[in-house]
């Protein structure tokens, strides 16, 4: 049975380019064509992997809830500081709410800025940026200039759409009637 | 028996706060000695095709037009295509599309003037929108919670867990019945029990406080739970007593259902600020008005704070992408906010003052029976006076537990404490309970903890029926043409009647006709705590008795019934699950008929 199959495959691969390509994919361990049923979750009520970049989803949240994209794209020419301040006050407050919900940001070091802090030997360079006399060997003691920020979680929304919408940060709003 | 089996398979106790503006689900493992109550993160639509998990599900429902629904943009992780949306997206759509958005379905549930199984909502929907009933809307919110839970715990489906569902203390038996109906239809277990929301807040405080609460309260103290949510105010008094050397909490009284809350305050301020804009020649459109409403929520907290500035700038951002250019601002003086909000909602008043019958200030929509007087302090005074017992020095509480988002603002807590202080005797000061506040989630957390204490033992609040109930009985005597017979009220459920008990109501016999429906008007009272079963009130005092949905039953005639007339007496029961039942029991045979609420449009009858 398998012998006959092998013979059929031999000849078909020899004479049909498409079939030959599919054989190649099979031999390399990749499915020839994605099975649409297998890709869709069978019954799993879990969140789908979003087909869009999370950066767009974050930007969309900041725009939706805080008008962030609107304000940074607007020319400030011709507005007084008071006008800008009036709008920015609301935008900044609402941006803060989004960041707090999504990232729950905390300072890297829980000390007041200006305080003396310890930098351990074998510190991670992602967590500390050292300035001044860095020629000595750690551990160090130094003055905290900026407490840093770190996310304690990353709970971004999941986008479930498809197609063109993947790049849409804010939909066009159209009033009917 | 089923009860037992269920409790053997249940892994969690789940508490659900089905709120007027937000739903929250909390849970705790049953088999634990130190209960850790967790909140379920609820996946929900926050924008089209965008799912985010949040600890609360806004109680809003958006009925999408078909082209939006079929696009799949409202899909959820557990259902690809949805004809409607609940939660955050529905709340946001509510601002833009009020005609297609259901809000405050819960307030409709206890509105006995309408048939709450009929599709009534959204109230002002155009004819092409398929309306939905208040019961069905509540069911939709609960279905969403069930699906969210089952997605997270596929091994422990919600239908198999112990469930505690909270209801306002002021919900009468009919409103509870409808809530139960929605819950069972949504797939919650039949074994679910109800807990009054203010009590749930106390349980949450107890679990957070641990054993320290025995030092915070002592015998003779009286605790006021003051729960002011977005749309409703719910009041409860709890006494601290001592029994067998142990402190005990006893629920003393609950208030009436008051449709006034934080949203009224925001709207009142927004309405006045819109006038300030109009004075500047700026007319706000509907979209901007909603934006203004949200800004006013922050403004009210800033302007009433202890260190409030003399004025606060309120901005409404431009709608188009030209944001700064379109932004309009107005300065709102502190005094204006104080006059409106303190004067309107927390005015100084004497303990003997009563809510005004006519509307004094604030917003009102058609439909729901919103409070005529929005002064929370006057309602509070009336509540405390009504429950000052005989020879009681004062009904004044010694402690206050705040609940509801309104009290995130220090100013509102201070205002309530100030008024209570003015009414209290000098030797009986009033203060807020110590410990952390959990104003948004306490009710759900407390419900889960209450369910856990039912299983594992622990501090329980002694309560029983929060209201006494009465059946309307027509007086005998000569009929006067054109005049209804005077009605008397027969007490069938005394205040404080405990769950799992039954009462045979002593009374004369009533004759019912077989083969015809029997129909009784039904009343409840939160203030007549002294009436015993069988007590007959000669008249119906509307100050004390509130009419609720009527009760009816069909008395089927058997084929061998010689008589067409059955003499009956009443028997009332409150089941272990807190469900109220009233039976007509034949005095000549062993037959009995259960009365059911007739939840239909009783408004004309109630008015007559």
Q: Which residues, 6 or more positions from B61, have their beta carbon under 8 angstroms from its beta carbon?
A: B84, B85, B86, B90, B101, B102, B105, B132, B137, B140, B141
Closest among B607, B600, B608, B606 to B517, alpha carbons compared: B600
* Residue A12's pLDDT band (cuts 50, 70, 90): low
Say how many C-beta atoms besides its own lie within 10 A of residue B193's C-beta: 18
Nearest-CA distance from B189 to chain A in Å?
21
Question: Taking a C-beta distance cutoff of 8 angstroms, is the pair B198, B236 a contact?
Answer: yes
What's the length of chain A?
A: 177
Query: Which chain B residues touch A79 with a CB distance below 8 Å?
Result: 324-325
Cα–Cα distance between B189 and B32 in angstroms, integer? 22
* pLDDT value of position A26: 52
Determine whether the interchain pair A45/B329 forms a contact, defined as Cβ–Cβ distance below 8 Å.
Answer: no
Report the chain A residue with the minimal C-alpha distance to residue B147: A45
Sequence-separated contacts (24+) of B423-430 with Cβ below 8 Å: B423/B350, B423/B351, B423/B381, B423/B384, B423/B394, B423/B396, B424/B394, B424/B396, B425/B393, B425/B394, B425/B396, B428/B393, B428/B394, B428/B396, B428/B398, B429/B398, B430/B396, B430/B397, B430/B398, B430/B399, B430/B400
Determine whether the interchain pair A171/B48 forms a contact, defined as Cβ–Cβ distance below 8 Å.
Answer: yes
Q: Where are the domains of chain A?
A: 1-33, 52-102, 104-156
Query: Which chain B residues touch A83 with a CB distance below 8 Å?
Result: 324, 327
Question: Taking a C-beta distance cutoff of 8 angstroms, is the pair A91, A67 a contact?
Answer: yes
Using CB atoms, pick whichever of A79, A93, A160 lies closest to residue B75: A160
Report the chain B residue with the minimal C-alpha distance to residue A89: B315
**Beta strands B50-54; B60-63: pairing state:** unpaired
Determine whether the interchain pair A90/B315 forms a contact, defined as Cβ–Cβ distance below 8 Å.
Answer: yes
Query: Which chain B residues touch A77 with a CB distance below 8 Å?
Result: none
Q: What is the pLDDT of residues B509-536, one digit of tens each?
A: 888 888 888 888 899 988 888 899 999 9
Question: Taking a C-beta distance cutoff of 8 angstroms, is the pair B564, B514 a contact?
Answer: yes
Nearest-CA distance from B52 to chain A in Å?
4
**Structure tokens given for A153:** 């979680």
B317 touches chain A (CB under 8 A): yes
* pLDDT value of position B352: 85
Q: Is the pLDDT of residue A79 over 90?
A: yes
Report the chain B residue with the minimal C-alpha distance to residue A67: B323
Determine whether the interchain pair A157/B46 forms a contact, defined as Cβ–Cβ distance below 8 Å.
Answer: yes
Across A104-134, b (16+ Cβ under 10 Å) vs e yields eeeeebeeeeeeebeeeeeeeeeebeeeeee
Report the chain A residue with the minimal C-alpha distance to residue B54: A101
Query: Which chain A residues touch B288 with a CB distance below 8 Å?
Result: none
Determine whether the interchain pair A47/B43 forms a contact, defined as Cβ–Cβ distance below 8 Å.
Answer: yes
Using CB atoms, pick whichever of A46, A71, A156 lies closest to residue B323: A71
Question: Taking a C-beta distance cutoff of 8 angstroms, is the pair A61, A98 a contact?
Answer: yes
Phi, psi torsion values for B567, nearest 5 degrees: -80, 130
The residues in A 52-71 lying below 8 A from B, measured between CB atoms, are 57, 60-61, 64, 67, 70-71
Determine whether the interchain pair B327/A91 forms a contact, defined as Cβ–Cβ distance below 8 Å.
Answer: no
**Structure tokens given for B126:** 């155009």
Cα–Cα distance between A153 and B264 in angstroms, integer? 36
Determine whether the interchain pair A60/B47 forms a contact, defined as Cβ–Cβ distance below 8 Å.
Answer: yes
B218 touches chain A (CB under 8 A): no
Mean pLDDT per 10-residue segment, chain B (608 residues): 55 96 96 92 95 96 92 90 93 86 89 85 90 96 98 96 94 91 96 94 94 90 93 91 87 87 90 93 84 86 86 88 88 92 91 71 52 88 81 74 91 92 86 92 96 88 88 73 78 90 89 82 88 90 85 75 79 86 88 80 38
Q: Is the pLDDT of residue A97 over 50?
A: yes
Contact pairs from chain A to chain B, CB under 8 Å: 81
Report the chain A residue with the minimal C-alpha distance to residue B317: A87
* pLDDT value of position A50: 58
Using CB atoms, pick whichever of A47, A70, A165 lies closest to residue B323: A70
* pLDDT value of position B598: 75
Q: Which residues, 6 or more positions from B33, have their beta carbon under 8 angstroms from its beta carbon?
A: B456
Say how many C-beta atoms besides its own lie within 10 A of residue B296's C-beta: 25
A135 touches chain B (CB under 8 A): no
Pick A14 or B25 by higher pLDDT. Answer: B25
Question: Which residue, among A66, A70, A103, A171, would best test binding to B if mutated, counting the most B CBs under 10 Å from its CB?
Answer: A70
Determine whether the interchain pair B315/A89 forms a contact, defined as Cβ–Cβ distance below 8 Å.
Answer: yes
Say how many C-beta atoms besides its own lie within 10 A of residue B53's C-beta: 17
Using CB atoms, pick whichever of A47, A57, A67 lies closest to residue B323: A67
Cα–Cα distance between B61 and B90 in angstroms, integer? 5
Query: Which chain B residues touch A161 with a CB distance below 8 Å?
Result: 48-50, 73
| Alpha helices (runs of H) in B332-397, residue ranges in sequence order | 334-337, 343-345, 376-386
Determine whether the interchain pair A86/B315 forms a contact, defined as Cβ–Cβ distance below 8 Å.
Answer: yes
A89 touches chain B (CB under 8 A): yes
Q: Which residues, 6 or more positions from B441, have their beta carbon under 8 angstroms from its beta carbon?
A: B17, B24, B26, B39, B55, B56, B204
Report the chain A residue with the minimal C-alpha distance to residue B154: A45
Determine whether the interchain pair A90/B324 forms a contact, defined as Cβ–Cβ distance below 8 Å.
Answer: no
Largest CA distance in chain A: 84
* pLDDT value of position A15: 57
* pLDDT value of position B486: 78
Q: What is the pLDDT of residues B159-209, one digit of tens each?
A: 999 999 999 988 888 899 999 999 999 999 999 999 999 999 999 999 999
| Alpha helices (runs of H) in A44-149, residue ranges in sequence order | 54-66, 68-73, 81-103
Query: Which chain A residues touch B313 with a CB distance below 8 Å?
Result: 86, 89
In the predicted model, what is the mean pLDDT of chain A?
81
A83 touches chain B (CB under 8 A): yes
The DSSP annotation for A137-158 comes to PSPEEEE-S----B-S-----E
Largest CA distance in chain B: 86
Residues B84, B89, B90, CA angle at the centre, nearest 5°? 50
Query: Which chain B residues touch A74 with a CB distance below 8 Å?
Result: 321-325
Cα–Cα distance between A87 and B176 in angstroms, integer? 46
Determine whether the interchain pair B77/A47 forms a contact, defined as Cβ–Cβ distance below 8 Å.
Answer: yes
User: ipTM of this predicted complex?
Assistant: 0.80
What structural domains and CATH numbers belong to chain B? 2-195 (3.30.420.40), 262-345 (3.90.640.10), 468-607 (no CATH)
End-to-end CA distance of chain B: 47
B48 touches chain A (CB under 8 A): yes
């Amino acid at each position: 049975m398998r012998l006959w199959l092998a013979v059929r495959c031999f000849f078909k691969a020899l004479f049909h380019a498409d079939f030959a390509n599919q054989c190649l994919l099979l031999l390399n361990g990749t499915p020839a064509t994605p099975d649409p049923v297998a890709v869709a979750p069978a019954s799993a009520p879990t969140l789908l992997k979003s087909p869009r970049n999370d950066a767009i989803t974050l930007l969309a949240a900041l725009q939706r809830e805080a008008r962030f994209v609107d304000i940074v794209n607007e020319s400030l020419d011709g507005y007084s500081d008071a006008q800008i301040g009036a709008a920015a006050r609301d935008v900044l407050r609402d941006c803060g709410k989004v960041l707090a919900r999504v990232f729950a940001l905390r300072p890297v070091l829980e000390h007041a800025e200006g305080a003396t802090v310890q930098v351990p030997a074998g510190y991670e360079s992602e967590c500390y940026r050292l300035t001044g006399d860095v020629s000595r060997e750690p551990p160090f003691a130094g003055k905290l200039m900026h407490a840093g920020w770190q996310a304690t979680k990353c709970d971004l929304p999941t986008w479930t759409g498809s197609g063109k919408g993947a790049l849409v940060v804010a939909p066009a709003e159209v009033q009917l009637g | 028996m089923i009860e037992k089996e269920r409790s053997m398979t249940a892994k969690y106790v789940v508490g659900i706060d089905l709120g007027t503006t937000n739903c929250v689900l909390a849970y705790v493992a049953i088999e634990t000695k130190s209960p850790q109550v967790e909140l379920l993160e609820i996946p929900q639509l926050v924008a089209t095709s965008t799912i985010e998990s949040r600890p609360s599900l806004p109680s809003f429902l958006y009925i999408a037009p078909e082209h939006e629904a079929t696009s799949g943009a409202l899909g959820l992780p557990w259902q690809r295509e949805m004809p409607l949306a609940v939660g955050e997206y529905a709340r946001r759509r509510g601002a833009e599309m009020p005609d297609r958005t259901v809000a405050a379905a819960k307030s409709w549930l206890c509105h006995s003037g309408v048939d709450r199984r009929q599709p009534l909502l959204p109230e002002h929907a155009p004819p092409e929108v398929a309306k939905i009933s208040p019961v069905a809307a509540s069911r939709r919110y609960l279905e969403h919670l069930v699906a969210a839970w089952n997605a997270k715990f596929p091994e422990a489906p919600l239908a198999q867990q112990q469930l505690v569902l909270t209801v306002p203390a002021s919900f009468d038996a009919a409103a509870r019945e409808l809530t139960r109906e929605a819950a069972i239809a949504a797939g919650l277990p039949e074994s679910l029990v109800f807990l009054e929301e203010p009590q749930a807040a106390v349980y949450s405080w107890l679990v957070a406080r641990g054993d320290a609460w025995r030092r915070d309260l002592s015998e003779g103290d009286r605790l006021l739970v003051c729960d002011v949510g977005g749309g409703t105010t719910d009041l409860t008094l709890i006494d601290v007593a001592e029994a067998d050397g142990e402190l005990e909490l006893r629920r003393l009284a609950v208030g009436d259902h008051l449709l006034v809350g934080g949203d009224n305050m925001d709207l009142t301020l927004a309405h006045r600020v819109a006038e300030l804009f109009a004075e500047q020649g700026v007319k706000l459109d509907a979209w901007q008005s909603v934006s203004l409403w949200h800004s006013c929520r922050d403004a009210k907290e800033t302007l009433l704070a202890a260190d409030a500035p003399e004025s606060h700038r309120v901005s409404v951002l431009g709608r188009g992408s030209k944001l700064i250019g379109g932004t309009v601002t107005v300065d709102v003086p502190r005094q204006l906010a104080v006059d409106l909000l303190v004067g309107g909602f927390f005015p100084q008043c004497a303990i003997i003052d009563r809510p005004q019958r006519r509307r004094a200030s604030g917003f009102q929509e058609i439909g729901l029976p919103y409070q005529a007087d929005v002064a929370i302090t006057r309602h509070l005074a009336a509540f405390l006076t009504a429950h000052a017992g005989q020879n009681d020095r004062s009904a004044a509480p010694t402690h206050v537990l705040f609940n509801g988002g309104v009290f995130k603002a220090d100013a509102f807590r201070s205002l309530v404490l100030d008024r209570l202080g003015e009414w209290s005797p000098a030797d009986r000061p009033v203060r807020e309970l110590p410990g952390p506040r959990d104003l948004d989630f306490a009710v759900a957390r407390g419900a889960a903890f209450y369910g856990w204490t039912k299983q594992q033992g622990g501090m329980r609040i002694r309560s029983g029926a929060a209201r006494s109930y009465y059946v309307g009985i027509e007086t005998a005597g000569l009929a006067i043409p054109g005049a209804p017979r005077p009605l008397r009220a027969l007490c069938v459920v005394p205040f404080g009647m405990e769950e799992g008990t039954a009462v045979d109501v002593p009374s004369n016999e009533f004759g019912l006709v077989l083969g015809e429906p029997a129909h009784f008007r039904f009343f409840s009272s939160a203030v007549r705590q002294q009436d015993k079963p069988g007590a007959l009130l000669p008249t119906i005092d509307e100050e004390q008795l509130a009419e609720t949905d009527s009760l009816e039953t069909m008395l089927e005639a058997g084929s061998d019934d010689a008589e067409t007339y059955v003499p009956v007496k009443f028997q009332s029961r409150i089941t272990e699950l807190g469900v109220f039942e009233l039976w007509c029991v034949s005095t000549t045979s062993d037959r009995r008929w259960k009365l059911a609420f007739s939840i239909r449009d009783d408004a004309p009858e109630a008015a007559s």
